[in-house]
Structure 1
Amino acid sequence: MTPKNPPPTVTLALSLLFTLPVLSICQSPPSCRFESIISLGDSLADTGNLFRLSEPNVSRLPCSRPPYGETFFHHPNGRYSNGRLIIDFIAESLGLPLVQPYVGGRENSFEKGVNFAVAGATALDHEYLEKMGIYNPYTNASLGIQMDWFKHFLASLPDGKIFVQSSLILLGEIGGNDYNIPLELGINPEILRSLAPMVVEYIGRTLQELIELGAKTILVPGNFPVGCFPAFLTMFMPDQENYYDPETGCINWLNEISRYHNELLQKELNRIQELYPHVSIIYADYYNALMQIYLSPEEFGFGKRMLSACCGGGGPYNYDKSAFCGFPSSASCEDPSLYISWDGLHLTEAAYKFLAQSLLGGRYSAPRFTTICSSQSPVAQVYEY
């Protein structure tokens, strides 16, 4: 099934479990020898697939309008940010070109990487969620659809398995929209915890399928602290005691769902790692890496308005769904590098760069990415809780 002209995405992601020490960011890229990058996921990794799927009606996507892309590319390009995403910084760090979107691309442009991620995508199948009364208005290109594209692509290569074996596989972030969309639809938040085991199980099955296809090094990110995102801070604003984290101002119960997802995900990665000891499965702790900034924004070069969007339509958190970034009634801040959130649902280039550095050069991956790179051989490691 091919997605057709999906409307604007409002994806984001959640995340966490184990608490790691404070990071000392490494400015030097790891010395890895991956030949290419293969990516699956949602808007946090989408470098233009939804943009191309939406043609000729692409103008209704926020990411098709300024100021998206203004900081690095200087024009909208399908990325839901003002500039580069984590996948872009990973590619640059590994000495590889920016990963091209699969949709509408040419096979000869994928020699050094291919990106199947689609903004708005869920982990669970579109049809499965609809049976639960959850209707994704953004895209039907779920993780299963992306895997179908991937297998079709591999079948077109004379040496597909070698291509996979020599690539760094990015499986996600994916799963955040399985929680975000029910929240946006006004579905009882209690359903989110019941979704988490199914979401994680599906990610686990996909991971095993990638391994069977030849994957040797797979990076699997957890979800972000969604309770700190301007969109949800605007959506849920009751004046209740213990509702907000006194240190950050983030919504406690939303972040707890992120931590629950990440706990289940790490246990699933543990289980699969034991089944495939000669494969490197790396957990990327997006939650704790990002939480550093929320706790000490100025220490890491960010401004004081850590819970406000740079680009938005006003309000306490500069987020208004009816005046979403990119539309005439919205406005952008002067310096996006001081902000964590770009549009209330996605991060700024500065925040994505920080996360990439945290992952590649610091302690926010398990096993450490630098360990994998220094040995350039699969390392099995059981995660500690």
Structure 2
Amino acid sequence: MASSASGRAGRGLPSPAAAAAAVLLVLAGAAPAAGCYPRVFSFGDSLADTGNYAFVYSNDSGQPALRLPYGETFFHRPTGRFSNGRIVLDFIAETLGLPFVRPYLSGRNAGDFACGANFAVGGATALSPDFFRDRGFDGMGDRVHLDMEMKWFRELLDLLCPGNLAGCADMMNQSLFLVGEIGGNDYNIPLLSRVPFKKIRTFVPSVVAKISSTITVSISFFCSCCSC
């Protein structure tokens, strides 16, 4: 058995030439992605936030993502990302040949959003705090939620296409939209506050419906601009 395993291991080790060929194949496969989409619009929570968190909370707020070791390995400083380096959205933008997606709250004019915008905020929920208050849980505070992120998106479209959303048709047609990750905080915040699990399970249909409706509204918005 030992010699057989050893033989399999030996045969499994790639030669330098094979390893180089594999790398070239990966690079060749990634190359066509560049230029596919000239801009990205993203919605979500901490797993997608590229810095809005830093504008929602001040640097002296003591929030974990606004101090080291967050950001130390790539940016060498905290950026509001919930990572010690880049997040998945950063790699998607990089693969598309785009700059990192700008946090919506960091922009001031249309030119700032030439390559899209990120509306995700760390700690965001799918459902609004009012949903939870109506069900007897007041622990959500005034955190950002999907309806608020969609409101920011509509405000951005008004900035990019003032008075004429139809003028956004080409832009919308060539944009990549990402929704999520979102919804986890709708469960884990009540769970950490000792809300009974049985009650938390009743939130699931509403969370799923909100995420689904956000995607549907995004598509409808796209169609209204593009007359599809």
Q: For this structure pair, what is the TM-score category when the shorter chain's length is used for normalisation?
A: 0.7 to 0.9
In 1, the alpha carbon distance for the partners of 2:139 and 2:150 equals: 19
In 1, the alpha carbon distance for the partners of 2:31 and 2:138 equals: 41
Unmatched runs of 5 consecutive residues or more in structure 1: 1-24, 216-278, 280-385
Query: What is the match of residue 120 of structure 1?
Result: 123
Letter in 1 for 2:32: S
Offset from partner CA, 1:90-136 (integer Å, 9 cap, x none): 11111111001011312312101200001101001121122112334
Q: Which moved more, 1:45-54 or 1:33-42?
A: 45-54
Letter in 1 for 2:95: S
CA gap of 1:164–1:136, structure 2 versus 1, over 3 A, is: farther
Unmatched runs of 5 consecutive residues or more in structure 2: 1-22, 162-166
1:161 is displaced (CA, Å) by 3.4
TM-score normalised over the length of structure 1: 0.47
Query: What is the match of residue 31 of structure 1?
Result: 32
Report if the CA contact (8 A) 2:38-2:115 is conserved.
yes
Secondary structure at 1:39 match in 2: strand
In 2, the alpha carbon distance for the partners of 1:138 and 1:80 equals: 20
Query: What is the match of residue 172 of structure 1?
Result: 180
* Identical amino acids, percent of aligned pairs: 43
Query: What is the match of residue 370 of structure 1?
Result: none
2:209 counterpart of 1:201: yes
In 2, the alpha carbon distance for the partners of 1:197 and 1:181 equals: 17
Which structure dedicates a bigger proportion of its chain to helix?
Answer: 2
Query: What is the match of residue 80 of structure 2?
Result: 78
Letter in 1 for 2:82: Y
Offset from partner CA, 1:4-46 (integer Å, 9 cap, x none): xxxxxxxxxxxxxxxxxxxxx9844262311110001000011
Secondary structure at 2:106 match in 1: coil
Length, aligned pairs only: 192
Report if the CA contact (8 A) 1:164-1:213 is conserved.
no
Offset from partner CA, 1:323-354 (integer Å, 9 cap, x none): xxxxxxxxxxxxxxxxxxxxxxxxxxxxxxxx
Aligned to 1:99, which of 95, 98, 101?
101
In 2, the alpha carbon distance for the partners of 1:68 and 1:160 equals: 36
Query: What is the match of residue 46 of structure 2?
Result: 43
Offset from partner CA, 1:160-196 (integer Å, 9 cap, x none): 3332221110101111111111111111112232211
Report if the CA contact (8 A) 1:52-1:58 is conserved.
no
Letter in 2 for 1:205: S
In 1, the alpha carbon distance for the partners of 2:180 and 2:55 equals: 20
1:139 is displaced (CA, Å) by 4.8
CA gap of 1:83–1:138, structure 2 versus 1, over 3 A, is: farther
Query: What is the match of residue 185 of structure 1?
Result: 193
Query: What is the match of residue 109 of structure 1?
Result: 112
Query: Structure 1 residue runs of 4+, over 3 Å off?
Result: 25-28, 135-139
In 2, the alpha carbon distance for the partners of 1:30 and 1:194 equals: 45
Larger gyration radius, structure 1 or structure 2: 2
